[in-house]
Amino acid sequence: MSALVSSNITQCVASSAAARPQKLTAPKATPHANHRRAVATRIAAPAREQPLVQQLAKQMQEQHSGKPSETQPALPALISKEQVVALEAELDQGPSMAALRRFNDNLRKIPADRWEEVLRPVFNELTFNLESFNPAFTSCLLMVQRTLGVSDYVRRDMALKNLIQPLAGEYGMHNNQPQHKTHRELFSDFYASLFHAPLESLLAQGVPPVAAQALWAKMSTDIMTGGGAHSNPMEQVRACVIGLAVLACAL
């Protein structure tokens, strides 16, 4: 019996040695791999202290500074930093900023004994409004993904990589850091510190945030259609990402 077992083990070892794969060698770099590395090295890692618009413009400029690969068609021009700054300046002079200033002025005029009574309905709207930026980020990611087969493979991949990071930040996730509180949890803590009551007590009243819902419906339509001015998916996603960058700066 032991001789039979020994013979079987010897045969198994011999078979394993014969079937063992040869030493692997690294594959030669392909034009696509070189293209990916070229794009990745031209996109700087976002600096935490820089404003979002400056990060975005810098990345776009660096990505577009190199010559297109001989195997790749010429890519469309990217938006410049000057264009983003001009859009931000236009937003600063728009009706939304005027409304924000009126809101701040009225906030200062609220009597101390009516502060909670007046602001609870405002926070009911804010709760919905602030959370609506999460699906706004998600919608922009979807718009980029919908350019599959139309946009450049590497640019699309790098854009998704950079766009998903601020979305993850909404849920307390940052690279190489422990997970922190989500923005919704932080807002709940903020509400409780002001009103000395949990946010859930406000939401339990079930009052519809009519203004915030109307704003989100319009914002969602604008994101998914590029403002309704474009039918081409590339132009739609371009308008979507530019609008999101400018909006993030305003916040």
pLDDT at 150 over 60: yes
Cβ neighbourhood burial of 196 (10 Å; 0-12, 13-18, 19+): exposed
pLDDT on residue 190: 96
Higher pLDDT, 158 or 46: 158
Residue pLDDT, tens place only, 163-193: 888 888 889 998 888 989 999 999 999 999 9
CA angle at residue 144 from 182 to 152, to 5 degrees? Answer: 135
| Cα distance between residue 87 and residue 85, in whole Å | 5
Q: Who wins on pLDDT, 228 or 163? A: 163
> Taking all residues of the chain, what is their mean pLDDT, rounded to a whole number?
74
Q: How far apart are CA 147 and CA 156, in angstroms?
A: 8
Give first-to-last CA distance, the chain, whole Å: 79
Q: What 3-state DSSP class applies to 124?
A: helix
Which residue ranges make up each domain of the chain? 115-250
Determine the 3-state secondary structure of 241 from DSSP. helix
Q: Report the alpha-carbon distance of residue 83 to residue 77 in Å, rounded.
A: 12
pLDDT tens, position by position, 112-137: 899 999 999 999 999 999 999 899 88
Q: What pLDDT does residue 181 have?
A: 94
pLDDT at 7 over 60: no
Under 8 Å between Cβ of 143 and 166: no
- The C-alpha atoms of residue 131 and residue 129 are separated, in whole angstroms, by 6
Q: What's the rounded Cα separation, in Å, for the pair 179 and 36?
A: 30
CB-facing half-sphere around the CA of 53: CA atoms within 13 A: 18
Report yes or no: 226 and 147 within 8 Å, Cβ to Cβ: no
Residue 102, pLDDT score: 93
pTM above 0.85, yes or no: no
Greatest mean pLDDT among 74-78, 107-111, 174-178: 107-111
Cα 108-249-187 angle, rounded to 5 deg: 55
